[in-house]
Structure 1
Amino acid sequence: MNENGSTVSLEPEKGWRNRRTKPTLPEVYRSLHIPKKGSWLKKFLAFAGPGYLVAVGYMDPGNWATDIAGGSLFGYTLLSVILLSNLMAILLQALSGKLGIVTGRDLAQACRDHYSKPVAMVLWVLCELAIAACDLAEVIGSAIALYLLFGIPLIYGVIITALDVLIVLLLQNKGFRYIEILVIVVIVTIGACFAIEIFLSKPDVGGIMMGFVPSTEIITNPVMLYIAIGILGATVMPHNLYLHSSIVQTRKYEQTSLGKREAIKFTTWDSTIALFVALFINAAILIISAATFHKAGMTEVAEIGEAYHLLTPLLGTTLGSILFGVALLASGQNSTLTGTLAGQIVMEGFLNIRLAAWLRRLITRLIAIIPAVIVTAIAGESGTAQLLILSQVILSLQLSFAVIPLIQFTNDRKKMGEFVNPLWLKIIAWMVAVVIVGLNVYLLYQTFFG
């Protein structure tokens, strides 16, 4: 394969069923130069960016619903779930980046080139369902923000969000760095809003510290477990594993053992730092909910709109509600950018076909908009709140079908060569997979028999 990915490798590679084809996102493949000389910081900054696109998925509006519900019902208790989920995400995203750098395949392409066609098709359908669920959260979150800030009816807000495809197309045409810069600016905006919110809410520092210590009650309380798994689904995003393994290949690193090792190191640092920013934002939402609603005895606040309206009287200033609305709108629109890329990567990777970006986004948006319009029209704002939490549980249920192939591939010496996961990492990775699968099986049991 040449530098721009325009040719196809003719020989099947060792350890793969099918030969490697053109990369996904070919228009930006190896388009960003990495300096061969210079300081450690200069090289790190050249690699920095993809991690923040990944982090966006960990702070989308779906997280808000689960974090608000968890904070109002159980105070600071579920902070430990957010921390655990974030540590899992750091590990899995590091493996995802390594897979893309070492094999030259994203996770979707790796699944297509490893499994039989029927298995690959099932994985593709499951991944598309996860992206639709995530997109549903973005649509509803953005629509709620438009309603709260500008009074635009929810149904109209849902429809307006379909037009954001134009923003994505414009940025893609200008270059990948423009998308990364915009995403980072919006993340900083969201973080600043919540930093001020925490200051205004005056949370219990001791309660926060205790909240990061795991509690057995999370397993024994069915309602707490349901929200905890929703937080897990909202934090460790399955489509982000596909996204990360592709966008790390936008960097033009040396195709040597040393070059790949350096790329893995800087990419891991990039995603780890970005995900700690996401941890702060997710924890901040739950902390604010606990410090305002739970403290005031309002233990059933699960709707984003209700939280928006209650913040002003509880905090004693309209600034709290305004910052909340701005951060929500920024979160929804930011998630749109990465949702577009993930959808394109998954379809191109699994099916090896190319659709125009606007057409792919429009299809995904329609899948999300139709149920959102129906639920909004029938049940109003309360229905959208339940739909948000349900969308995150769907994401969590699909997560195993992305995590297990990722661990399997990065543990395979034939595929990874000298970069195969060491024994200690294999053990930790499979422990994470077992926890994810176990929690999801327990959730299904509680849902149908509990």
Structure 2
Amino acid sequence: MTDTSRSLADSHRSVTLPVGGSRWRRFMAFAGPGYLVAVGYMDPGNWATDIAGGSAFGYALLSVILLSNLMAIVLQALAVRLGVASGLDLAQACRAHYSRPVTLALWVLCEIAIVACDLAEVLGTAIALKLLFGIPLTWGVVVTAVDVFLILALQRYGFRRLEAFIIALLLVIAGCFAFELMLARPDPGAVARGLVPTTRILTDPTMLYLAIGILGATVMPHNLYLHSSIVQTRAFAQDGVGRREAAKLATIDGTVALGLAFFINAAILILAASTFHTAGRTDVAEIDEAYRLLAPSLGMGAASVVFAVALLASGQNSTVTGTLAGQIVMEGFLNLRLPVWARRVITRGLAIIPAVLVVGASGDAGATQLLVLSQVILSLQLPFAVVPLVMFTGSRRIMGDFASPVWLRALAWIVTGVIIALNATLLYGML
């Protein structure tokens, strides 16, 4: 591939790897991309679905978070395999192997998913600014437009520094929820029972809607494009041995990072279940309402502040990775390269307009409903990213010796079937 056709050309193979040395040292050189991907699995959209699910149904939807996380691990491992073996990100692979009309259709669907994701980031950040500083929600939505400058500033210092910033904010979020759970003291037995799936999820329309919202908030389509690209920031050897090691270490990195994402997502739902549901408050569905109730429920004023700080960190983290994903998708599908600031302004503008309209018309309640809806939209877009990924990684013509083995292809198609079946069930119920 020429320099101009490389995925994220400015960062492509920019992270050097140690020659020789211990296995741990080499793994640490690969660590980072998985955490950028994990950010998308704990963005503000997750908060809305997890709080609503924990408040309304207790720990029952923990099983959905666990299954979604396991599906995410499988799919992200495939994204790593595609990027390492073919030298293409998922968007570039679609452009190379599909007709122009199909490529354009997939691009439009992916852009819709990115706007839905950005909408969640806008609303989450605006809610956090309101809770911490009293900024009106509408003005908070407008303030999020300046996030573009944060992205530009971070990218100037290299990809490794960008990863360090992301990981630091993830540790802030994890620390905040560890503190909250210490105060909430959930029942371990109830938590364990919540990890076991129940058929009620499929028979209760409200529960199913929230379950698919959780799925959409956990397994996010743009993350598949993102991971297949940023794994190529490592300057691994381009022979069979080098690629095999790269795929293995990057998969471990992604799995560990998604384990952290599972802890944070589960912590949000457990906090809502142990604080609100057990007290008979099954109607808490809004983030700002949860913020107001946390301090009196847990008996400590800092509980609400820590909650809002974690939300703000989540919104900022998701902003960074959403921008990268948008750049990868546009360049990969269209071979069109825009300045990062221009790409960011376009995407954020498309998210801010509906956010301002809904917040202005419906207030805080409308903001939370829009957050949950954005996650359902993401879930509906999933098959259009997952099916090409599974097909490409199973093809020996594209992947050579790195084509997925039979057991992995079978597992990937089962995951794909579950996603499509859940979406079909949701659409049938809505119609």
Equivalent in the alignment of 1:434: 417
The alignment status of 1:99 with 2:96, answered yes or no, reads: no
Equivalent in the alignment of 2:131: 148
The alignment status of 1:402 with 2:400, answered yes or no, reads: no
The alpha carbon displacement at 1:174 in A equals 1.1
Counterparts of 2:341 and 2:118, CA distance in 1 = 15
The alpha carbon displacement at 1:191 in A equals 0.1
The alpha carbon displacement at 1:290 in A equals 0.1
Q: CA RMSD in A?
A: 0.6
After superposition, residues 13-162 of structure 1 pair within 5 angstroms as 22-162=5-145
Structure 1 residue runs of 4 or more that deviate by more than 2 Å after TM superposition: none
The alignment status of 1:279 with 2:266, answered yes or no, reads: no
Which residue identity is paired with 1:256?
A: D
3-state SS, counterpart of residue 41 of structure 2: helix
1:207 to 187, 190, 202: 190
After superposition, residues 265-276 of structure 1 pair within 5 angstroms as 265-276=248-259
The alignment status of 1:259 with 2:242, answered yes or no, reads: yes
Which residue identity is paired with 2:327?
A: Q
TM-score, length of structure 1 as denominator length: 0.95
Which residue identity is paired with 1:280?
A: F
Counterparts of 2:47 and 2:61, CA distance in 1 = 13
Equivalent in the alignment of 2:179: 196
3-state SS, counterpart of residue 295 of structure 1: helix
The alpha carbon displacement at 1:36 in A equals 2.4
Counterparts of 1:63 and 1:216, CA distance in 2 = 22
Equivalent in the alignment of 2:3: 6
The alpha carbon displacement at 1:220 in A equals 1.0
3-state SS, counterpart of residue 301 of structure 1: coil
The alpha carbon displacement at 1:35 in A equals 1.5
Equivalent in the alignment of 1:365: 348
Q: What percentage of aligned pairs have identical amino acids? A: 64
After superposition, residues 268-307 of structure 1 pair within 5 angstroms as 268-307=251-290
- For these two proteins, the number of residue pairs brought into alignment is 431
Which residue identity is paired with 1:111?
A: C
Q: Can you list the C-alpha shifts for 1:305-329, whole angstroms capped at 9, x where unaligned?
A: 0000000110111111011000000
The alpha carbon displacement at 1:34 in A equals 1.1
Which residue identity is paired with 1:209?
A: A
2:300 to 317, 327, 331: 317
Counterparts of 1:380 and 1:79, CA distance in 2 = 29
The alpha carbon displacement at 1:442 in A equals 0.5
Counterparts of 1:58 and 1:221, CA distance in 2 = 25
The alignment status of 1:165 with 2:148, answered yes or no, reads: yes
Equivalent in the alignment of 1:174: 157
Structure 2 unaligned blocks of 5 or more: none
Counterparts of 1:69 and 1:204, CA distance in 2 = 19
Q: Can you list the C-alpha shifts for 1:22-49, whole angstroms capped at 9, x where unaligned?
A: 1121111001111220111000000000
Which residue identity is paired with 1:150?
A: F
The alpha carbon displacement at 1:434 in A equals 0.3
2:336 to 321, 343, 353: 353
Counterparts of 1:231 and 1:310, CA distance in 2 = 23
After superposition, residues 383-398 of structure 1 pair within 5 angstroms as 383-398=366-381
Which residue identity is paired with 2:196?
A: V
After superposition, residues 321-332 of structure 1 pair within 5 angstroms as 321-332=304-315
The alpha carbon displacement at 1:130 in A equals 0.1
Equivalent in the alignment of 1:250: 233
Structure 1 unaligned blocks of 5 or more: 8-21
Q: Can you list the C-alpha shifts for 1:212-241, whole angstroms capped at 9, x where unaligned?
A: 011111111111011000000000010000
3-state SS, counterpart of residue 59 of structure 1: coil
Which residue identity is paired with 2:3?
A: S
Counterparts of 2:185 and 2:125, CA distance in 1 = 27
Counterparts of 2:116 and 2:239, CA distance in 1 = 39
Which residue identity is paired with 1:303?
A: E
The alpha carbon displacement at 1:380 in A equals 0.3
3-state SS, counterpart of residue 135 of structure 2: coil
Which residue identity is paired with 2:411?
A: I
Which residue identity is paired with 1:355?
A: L
Deviates more, 1:217-226 or 1:132-141: 217-226
Q: Can you list the C-alpha shifts for 1:58-107, whole angstroms capped at 9, x where unaligned?
A: 00000000000000000000000000000000000010011001000000
Counterparts of 2:172 and 2:63, CA distance in 1 = 25
